[in-house]
Amino acid sequence: LLAARRNKDRVETDELNEAVERVVAGPQRRSRLIGPKERQVIAYHESGHALVALSLPFTDPVHKISIVPRGIAALGYTLQMPTEDKYITTQVELENRISALMGGRIAEKLVFGHVSTGAQNDLEKVSHLARRMVCEFGMTEALGPVSYGKKEGQVFLGKDLGHEKNYSELTAQKIDEEVHTIVHRSMDIALRILTDRRRDLDALASALLEREVLEGSDLPAILGQTVAPDTGQETGTAQR
Amino acid sequence: LLAARRNKDRVETDELNEAVERVVAGPQRRSRLIGPKERQVIAYHESGHALVALSLPFTDPVHKISIVPRGIAALGYTLQMPTEDKYITTQVELENRISALMGGRIAEKLVFGHVSTGAQNDLEKVSHLARRMVCEFGMTEALGPVSYGKKEGQVFLGKDLGHEKNYSELTAQKIDEEVHTIVHRSMDIALRILTDRRRDLDALASALLEREVLEGSDLPAILGQTVAPDTGQETGTAQR
Amino acid sequence: LLAARRNKDRVETDELNEAVERVVAGPQRRSRLIGPKERQVIAYHESGHALVALSLPFTDPVHKISIVPRGIAALGYTLQMPTEDKYITTQVELENRISALMGGRIAEKLVFGHVSTGAQNDLEKVSHLARRMVCEFGMTEALGPVSYGKKEGQVFLGKDLGHEKNYSELTAQKIDEEVHTIVHRSMDIALRILTDRRRDLDALASALLEREVLEGSDLPAILGQTVAPDTGQETGTAQR
Amino acid sequence: LLAARRNKDRVETDELNEAVERVVAGPQRRSRLIGPKERQVIAYHESGHALVALSLPFTDPVHKISIVPRGIAALGYTLQMPTEDKYITTQVELENRISALMGGRIAEKLVFGHVSTGAQNDLEKVSHLARRMVCEFGMTEALGPVSYGKKEGQVFLGKDLGHEKNYSELTAQKIDEEVHTIVHRSMDIALRILTDRRRDLDALASALLEREVLEGSDLPAILGQTVAPDTGQETGTAQR
Amino acid sequence: LLAARRNKDRVETDELNEAVERVVAGPQRRSRLIGPKERQVIAYHESGHALVALSLPFTDPVHKISIVPRGIAALGYTLQMPTEDKYITTQVELENRISALMGGRIAEKLVFGHVSTGAQNDLEKVSHLARRMVCEFGMTEALGPVSYGKKEGQVFLGKDLGHEKNYSELTAQKIDEEVHTIVHRSMDIALRILTDRRRDLDALASALLEREVLEGSDLPAILGQTVAPDTGQETGTAQR
Amino acid sequence: LLAARRNKDRVETDELNEAVERVVAGPQRRSRLIGPKERQVIAYHESGHALVALSLPFTDPVHKISIVPRGIAALGYTLQMPTEDKYITTQVELENRISALMGGRIAEKLVFGHVSTGAQNDLEKVSHLARRMVCEFGMTEALGPVSYGKKEGQVFLGKDLGHEKNYSELTAQKIDEEVHTIVHRSMDIALRILTDRRRDLDALASALLEREVLEGSDLPAILGQTVAPDTGQETGTAQR
């Protein structure tokens, strides 16, 4: 259950928001000069994340989208926050989260015709989540409800030596295949959403380039009636 | 024989119970807020563990079921305690234990239609037990009474470097297959029990949601006459 | 030759016996409570070791059998002692030793119909001996008189890093096969002996449950005339 | 995005140029005596880098070419600098960068008929970039948008143990094939350019042998009208 | 050439002999009691080494044979010493040395009908020499004059981490096959010699059991005219 | 380029020669007694190196040949020195260097009919050079201009852990094949030269046995007109 909490921040009052963003994306650094071309790429990238997250039923509500540079590496960010503390995450929630993470890269590809290094961090997260679905959460038919790479209490000089590869090459190959399948299926969903809602993607990117920061409450006006309700997560889970 | 004792707690008097629970699940933390939806998932998860354990002949008696959050990670727990010290564990006892561990996940799947990250820790335990049955206890036909991955007295900086892989890839593959088979067979048993006793599962989860903590002595009233006798373990072994 | 001595204790006078047992099995701990059911399993387990050892020509004489708990892990033990110092061990002696080690598990299986975790330590010893026969003593046709996994003088922080895998996967696979064959062949011998002498097995276990400790000199009376002569080891080697 | 910056130096004013060169190539060491034969090889090697970089649309402008020995290892160098800060790098920019890196080796082969150890460092960079395109940026069809070899937060004695091989042999083989394909495709592009512009290559090498250092502004006069515009990078990206 | 010297001791005068033996086999320990049966095995084992060494043209002269226990592990030893310092060893000398090392085991097998753990150390040396012939001296057709497992200057905490496996699985398999072939070929030679000279083997073992220590000069009288000349090594090399 | 310098010594004046030899081969140790047979082997070994080096167009001039023992391991040495500093090495120069390194072993084989441990160090150098040609310099068709085993900046306790195996088994196999091919091709060239110039080989070895040390200037008189010109290296490169 710890796992389900790892990617979340507990936020109870509105005044904690700046603190949260500071942790997630580092302090604001408006001094960093970003060219108009790259600013456009970043705007579409973040809009891709946000629009896919908004369009799927089992994702946390989009709280903020920003293209103000922060920290060392973050050129922009999309902040999703759950409406209440969560300790358990379902398979479909994980799949939707992967689709939202792929949204940035898909938007770049769709609009500019090519991919860039900008999605490197998203791919790491996506691969890590998909690998955990296969190896820790037992969420695939092929591998079944078995843990792979379980740490067997090994501690080395006070540090965990990480996952021991305690399975065969054949199993390693099946894991790779399942990870591949999960990532591609989630990517296809993101692609379909952004293709269908291309007009919304352009509207969101334009608004972002103009205003630099968008609150979750700004989104309905920009996207019209097509935004999913803010409480989509809870009702979504129940509808299943 | 040490192995057989590792997952047990020696409990001689009733006043040690709180101490045991504190060790197993950490101190009570009622302050942690868990949403109604997740509380329901947790209640069914723990009821699944308990009902499978109750329905199988070679398991320790269910002592307590709780959905009061404890410690850092435990959202709920089912506490089984042996009626006397045990130093030896038979193959069928291990298989039943695995089925009981799978009960939580199966209950979630049965009631809510999908699996979640909530069973991660159960899968780790299940895989570890199954792997020990294959590699340390020699309990499969395919691998036979041979120890695999035996530690050969290696100590590294005062720490055990864990199991050395001293077998071939082909053997590694057979081990994976046997682990897979054991886990799936035990899971099928859990699934059959919970499907057959779905009404009892609902009754148990309802009682748990209402009262938060159930003692072993509360269970007969909730489940009617269908509970296995508290001394099932001992007579069970003899019947075999 | 060091190897041949590793599993032995040099015992010259009778007064050293308690010291030896203390080292082998830890101090007596009669305070440990073992249930009647497990006590029965232990009695048959140790009787299995002793009876197979007694029935084979190239084993050390059985000096004592005990089901008084000792040390941390030992619930019972069978103590064999050579009649004189030995520095060299032959292949058939190793095979007989493996059969005697398998005797405990076979007895459990034969009498109670299932195997338990109680033989874990025996399996480790059996696998280690069989692996040494293949990899260090060159005692199989398939691998021949070649050392595998030879330590090449590597010392790491004052500790030996153990056997380096300096052979190919194909060789690793052959080693696994040979170990498997040795263990199964020795197990079959133990199974045949205990099946043939089932009455003696029951007699020995009964005596052990009654008296808790049996000296080697008690055995002829319990088993009748069927015990192999105490000097079987020496004459045995010569007969070959 | 950090990745995209790693090979760049932020240069805002002209007076920082010497500092940049000092960092990139070490202090000037005219005292090092290089024979006329090797000087010629170096001149062609650097001209190859520069001419391929100049001929491709998505490369940084060539700022300086030098065959004055510097530092410990650098016999010559070609300095490319972006016209503005860049935080994102596209796939085609990476491919063009690899082609420019291969330009030195291809020029040697073309002019002298054989390859030398002089390209060792270029090959390392090329292989590293190609491997990142496959494993971190997800830029190939065969492997897809999945990260391979992700560091899982392992720190060992304060040092990162580098990329963990967390994939199967079959995946390792596909990665090798894709790296091979990327490098060969980029090499073929460099070969075509230098074959087509052999006259320009000779002119550049001659000028370099005569003057030792060429500024980016010297190049149009040497190469005539065939140089790509200094702002090719930006317009290039837009044309795509 | 260092390698060729490793197993040698430089001995210039006769008074150093005791010092040499002390280093090779440890101080004399007549107090160690060895049974008559094992003493016989040891006598034949050492006689096997000596007789094979004496019968082959490219071995060092046998200086002494002893069955007086020495040091911790040595129950007996055969000491060969070169007639002059040697810095280079030929392939045939290595093959002969392996045959002489196998002589002890073959003699045990021939006389007592089975093998024992007594040859463990010989097998280690034999395998190490054969492996070096394949991997360091390039003495096989299949692998050719290529070094495998070369240390690339790695030092770890002041200790050499030993041979790095810098070759493929297919090569590892070929190395295993070649080592296997060398050892078996040398073993067949030892077997042929001891079968042909069985009477001499018995004579040598008898003399050893009677006198405990034999000097090289005692051997002609025991074996008659069949001993190879003491200078066989040098003339042998020239004849080839 | 550093790599190209690693095996070289910068020598500007003649008085540095003794210093160079001291570094390369250790201080003279005439006290070491080497038998006449081994002295002959060493003389032919060094003559083999020298004659192959002299006969190939892209090698450094032979400066000195000596069979005076030096340092710990060197029984003899052949010193080649470039006529000017070199920073780049071509493929054909590396191939010729490998042939010269194989010359010693081939001469032993040709004259004495068998190989010895004397070439162990040569084989290490040969294999290391061939492996670098394949893995670092990209000099084979099969593997292409890709670096294999690149160090990715890993430093472990202040020491470089050496080359990481960052490629697949299939690639490892191709690398082994290419190394094998390079070494055998170079060996065949050395064999052809020494077979053709057997008379020169005998003359050189005789002179060396008589005079112990030969300067490069002594060689024309010994070998007649057949020596390649001292400046063969430079003109050789241009002819290609």
Q: Are E51 and E193 in contact (CB under 8 A)?
A: yes
pLDDT, tens only, E79-109: 898 877 788 999 999 999 999 999 999 999 9
Structure token pair of residue F212: 């112990």
- The pLDDT value given to residue C150: 55
Question: Looking at residues D169-198, what average pLDDT do you find?
Answer: 97
- CB-CB neighbors (< 8 A) of F2 in chain D: 72-73
Residue A206 confidence (pLDDT)? 97
Give yes or no for residue E16 having a pLDDT over 90. no
Ranking A87-96, C144-153, E99-108, F131-140 by mean pLDDT, the lowest is: C144-153
Average pLDDT of chain C to the nearest whole number: 80
Hey, which residues does B215 pair with through a beta bridge? B64
ipTM above 0.90, yes or no: no
Element (H, E) at C80: strand C77-80
User: Please, what sign has the CA dihedral across residues E115, E121, E127, E133?
Assistant: negative
Q: What crossing angle do the helices spanning B169-196 and B120-135 adopt, rounded to 10°?
A: 130
Reply yes or no on whether the pLDDT at D229 is more than 60: no
Q: How far apart are CA D200 and CA F100, in angstroms?
A: 40
CA gap D33, D75 in Å, rounded:
10
- The pLDDT of residue A165: 73
Distance CA D58, CA D78 (A): 17
Across the range F192-219, mean pLDDT stands at: 97
Q: Which residues between 83 and 142 in chain B have a beta carbon less than 8 angstroms from any beta carbon of chain A?
A: 102, 105, 112-121, 123-124, 126-128, 130-131
Q: Taking CB atoms and an 8 Å limit, are B150 and C127 in contact across chains?
A: yes
Q: What is the pLDDT of residue F71?
A: 64
State the average pLDDT over residues C172-198: 97
Buried b (16+ CB within 10 A) or exposed e, B138-147: bbbeebebbb
Tell if the CB–CB gap between F146 and D179 is shorter than 8 Å. Answer: yes
- Tell me whether residue A154 is exposed, middle or buried, using C-beta atoms within 10 angstroms of its C-beta: 0 to 12, 13 to 18, 19 or more: middle
- The domain limits of chain C are 2-223
Task: List the catalytic residue out of E12, E21, E46, E169.
Answer: E46
Q: What is the pLDDT of residue D30?
A: 57
Structure tokens at D111: 């002019």
For a pLDDT cut of 90, what percent of chain D falls above it?
Answer: 61
Question: Does residue C92 register a pLDDT over 60?
Answer: yes
- pLDDT value for B157: 37
- In total, chain E counts a number of residues equal to 240
How, if at all, do strands A159-160 and E77-80 pair? unpaired
Q: How many helices (H) and strands (E) does chain C have?
A: 9, 5
CB C111 within 8 A of CB C197: no
Residues of chain B with pLDDT under 70: 1-32, 71-73, 150-164, 225-240
Which residues, 6 or more positions from D186, have their beta carbon under 8 angstroms from its beta carbon? D95, D98, D99, D102, D126, D130
Taking residues D91-107, report their average pLDDT: 97
Neighbours of chain B (3+ CB pairs under 8 A): A, C
What is the least distance, in Å, from the CA of D178 to any CA of chain A? 16
pLDDT in tens, B181-236: 999 999 999 999 999 999 999 999 999 999 999 999 999 999 975 545 443 333 32
φ, ψ of residue E109 in degrees (nearest 5)? -60, -45
pLDDT higher than 50, residue E224: yes
Q: pTM of the full predicted structure?
A: 0.84
d(CA B143, CA C180): 8
The SS3 of residue C75 is: coil
DSSP-assigned letter for residue E228: P
B41 touches chain A (CB under 8 A): yes
Report the residue of chain F nearest D69, measured CA to CA: F87
Residue E149 pLDDT level (bands cut at 50, 70, 90): confident
Of C92, C148, C157, which has the smallest distance from its Cβ to E157's Cβ?
Answer: C157
List all residues 6 or more positions away from E203 whose beta carbon is below 8 Å from its beta carbon: E222, E223
According to CATH, what is the number of the domain C2-223?
Answer: 1.20.58.760
pLDDT of amino acid C231: 37
Is any Cβ of chain A less than 8 angstroms from the Cβ of D10?
Answer: no
**Does residue A215 carry a catalytic annotation?**
no
Residue-wise pLDDT tens digits, D62-78: 999 999 887 655 788 89
Contact C124, E148 (CB under 8 A): no
Strands (E), D22-87: 62-66, 77-80
Query: Looking at the predicted structure, is the pLDDT value of residue A144 above 80?
Result: yes
Q: How far is F42 from chain D (nearest CA, A)?
A: 32
Beta bridge partners of C213: C66
Tell me which of A152 and D226 has the higher pLDDT: D226
Rounded CA separation F20/F32 (Å): 21
pLDDT at D166 over 90: no
Q: How confident is the model at residue D1 (pLDDT cuts 50, 70, 90)?
A: very low
pLDDT band at C137 (very low <50, low <70, confident <90, very high): very high
Of C177 and E75, the structure prediction assigns the larger pLDDT to C177
Span of B53-62, C58-67, D29-38, F201-210 with lowest mean pLDDT: D29-38
Is pLDDT above 80 for C227? no
Give the E window 61-80 contacts with C, CB below 8 Å: 72-75
Using an 8 Å CB-CB cutoff, list chain F residues near D72: 2
Write down the mean pLDDT value for chain D: 80
Tell me if E216 sits within 8 A of E62, measured CB to CB.
yes
- Reported confidence tier of residue C11, pLDDT bands at 50, 70, 90: very low
Catalytic residue, chosen from C21, C46, C95, C178, is C46
Task: State what percent of residues in chain A have pLDDT above 70.
Answer: 72
Q: State the nearest Cα–Cα gap between D202 and chain F, in angstroms.
A: 17
pLDDT at B84: 75
Instruction: Write down the H helix ranges in chain D.
Output: 2-5, 17-25, 36-55, 91-112, 120-135, 169-196, 198-211, 219-223, 232-239
The residue among F66 and E24 whose pLDDT is bigger is F66
Mutate to test the interface with E, among C132, C146, C173 (most CBs of E within 10 A): C146
Residue F159 backbone dihedrals phi, psi, to 5 degrees:
-120, 145
Given a cut of 70, whether residue A151 has pLDDT beyond it is no
Q: Which residues of F touch D112 (CB under 8 A)?
A: 90, 237, 240
Residue by residue, DSSP assigns D2-15 as HHHHTT-----SGG
Which parts of chain D are beta strand (E)? 62-66, 77-80, 155-156, 159-160, 213-215
